[in-house]
Amino acid sequence: MDPLTPTAADSLAAAAANPRVRVVCAQPSIANHFLAELRDVEVQKDSLRFRRNLQRLGEITAYNISSQLSYTDKTVRTPLGESSSKQLHDFPVLATVLRAGLPFHQGFLNYFDQSPSAFAAAYRIEGTAQVQVQVDYLSAPSLDERVLILVDPMLASGKSLVQTYRAMLRFGTPRQVHIAAVIASPQGVAYVTREIPEATLWLAAIDDDLNAQAYIVPGLGDAGDLSYGSKL
């Protein structure tokens, strides 16, 4: 790998230091193992395992985000008495960018199992000098005063996430916003935190750089193709 340019190095340091950016794999845990398998070109040959690892990282990230949500004291009756507990005040809306986001989304849904879901189809317009993104499908419940978790495995330039979020605001203004990705570029983190200052970012890893084609390096490749097969 070529050495980092000063610009990329500066962006990486700034992204890692941002208090609104949480890096799940910063400390050793089983999440690091799942992330390593996602990147491994040999393990990637098994699309079922690739999807399952995305799902596992979704579950781990959902657990981490859950510490930032609101809870209500409740008394639960057991067979032998009563127990006081804390239960989630309301389940967040889970929003996903199709198609790569589906396995990652499922991990969140496994934990936030009463959450409504929102979906967006966003894709790059190929052949343009700069990254351009088209959002041509959107489905969502009301977002007014809800907690919104927007998930997409790869945060590259950040433009698809920002455009998806802005498009979803037609369904209301959330009271709290979380954005979750597996791998991000430092440039994408800088762009998203600048354009959506109200959001907290949850990432498994921040990689070194974004190449000239706006792909994350070293990244893992195309998460959608690895999950569901190559597209024309």
- What is the number of alpha carbons within 13 Å of residue 124 lying toward its C-beta? 15
> Above 90 in pLDDT, residue 50?
yes
Distance between CA atoms of residues 97 and 95, nearest Å: 7
Map tokens 């008495």 to a residue.
81
The confidence score (pLDDT) of residue 219 equals: 96
**Alpha helices, DSSP H, located in 18-94:** 30-39, 47-66
What kind and span of H or E run contains 155? strand 154-155
The pLDDT tens digits for 148-201 are: 999 999 999 999 899 999 999 999 999 999 999 999 999 999 999 999 999 999
The confidence score (pLDDT) of residue 135 equals: 76
Name the band, by pLDDT with cuts 50, 70 and 90, for residue 3.
very low
Angle at Cα 14 formed by Cα 191 and Cα 96, nearest 5°? Answer: 40
The confidence score (pLDDT) of residue 126 equals: 61
Q: Is 198 helix (H, G, I), strand (E, B) or coil?
A: coil
The confidence score (pLDDT) of residue 124 equals: 66
> Rounded mean pLDDT of the chain?
91
Mention every residue, 6+ apart, whose C-beta is less than 8 A from residue 17.
none
Name the band, by pLDDT with cuts 50, 70 and 90, for residue 99.
confident
Name the band, by pLDDT with cuts 50, 70 and 90, for residue 128.
low
Query: What architecture (CATH level 2) is domain 6-228?
Result: 3-Layer(aba) Sandwich (3.40)
Distance between CA atoms of residues 45 and 138, nearest Å: 31
User: Cβ distance 104 to 180 under 8 Å?
Assistant: yes
**Which of the residue ranges 75-79, 122-126, 137-141 would you say has the lowest mean pLDDT?**
122-126
User: Cβ distance 9 to 187 under 8 Å?
Assistant: no
Domain map (residue ranges) of the chain = 6-228
Distances (CA, A) of 31 to 42, 52, 63, 70, 163: 19, 12, 12, 25, 29
Distances (CA, A) of 153 to 29, 87, 203: 19, 28, 9
Average pLDDT on 13-21 reads: 78
**Helix 159-168 × helix 186-195 angle, to 10°:** 20
